[in-house]
Amino acid sequence: MLKKKLSWLVGAAVAVMLSGCSDMSVSEQELNAEVAKRLVTSQPDIIQLTLEESTLNLDLLIKEAIIDLTERDGGLVMVNMKTDIRGTLNVFGQDMSMTAQLDPSFESGLRIEEDRVYLVGAKLTQIAVQGNSISDQMFRNTLGSLHEDFESALARYFDTHPVYVLNHSTAEKAAARMVKDIVITEDSIEFMIF
């Protein structure tokens, strides 16, 4: 069995070398199509956010995530999300139900694990709140104090949910085992092989 795997791996490496291919890429358009497909098939995709003092218990339902790849600062993944947020907020000893559309934007890097590509180091850059059921100011004040908790919840979510899997073709599957580095360029991800 080991001999068979080794010969398959050597064969794939030789095929890549003979084809003159030292890298492989995924376009921003392909990445966004994959994310949209994953959101449709894995709904409801919920991020839970709870404060230790139990003043807030929220479920964040991801409706849309648009990725913009940029070379800025050595390569960044810029993500704009549209989410529905619902839950309870304890204000002055009273539980208040709330719903809103929350549109967070963040930037991150990438990591590859086996054949899966994950977002890492998510840093919030903006949060827009629309149509909530309680006072806008009260909700914004609560979100302001939750910035780090919300950022951590996003990071944990994307640490376990890949944005892309290298399994769309036999060549992509074989190359996934040999990726040594990922480079984010303008509008694409380059996978450096060997």
- pLDDT tens-digit series, residues 74-100: 999 999 999 888 877 776 777 878 788
Mean pLDDT rounded to a whole number for the chain: 79
Q: Which of these, 28, 63, 56, 68, lies nearest to 42 by C-alpha position?
A: 63
Q: pLDDT band for position 108 (50/70/90)?
A: very high
Instruction: Write the CATH number for 88.
Output: 3.15.10.40
Q: Is 28 contained in some domain?
A: yes
- Cα distances (Å, whole numbers) of residue 40 to 37, 57, 64, 81, 140: 5, 25, 9, 14, 29
What is this structure's pTM? Answer: 0.76
> Which CB contacts under 8 angstroms, 24+ apart, belong to 54-59?
54/90, 55/89, 55/90, 55/91, 56/87, 56/88, 56/89, 56/90, 56/142, 56/146, 57/87, 57/88, 58/85, 58/86, 58/87, 59/85, 59/86, 59/87
Q: Is 16 contained in some domain?
A: no
Please count the structural domains in the chain: 1
Domain range spanning residue 104? 21-193
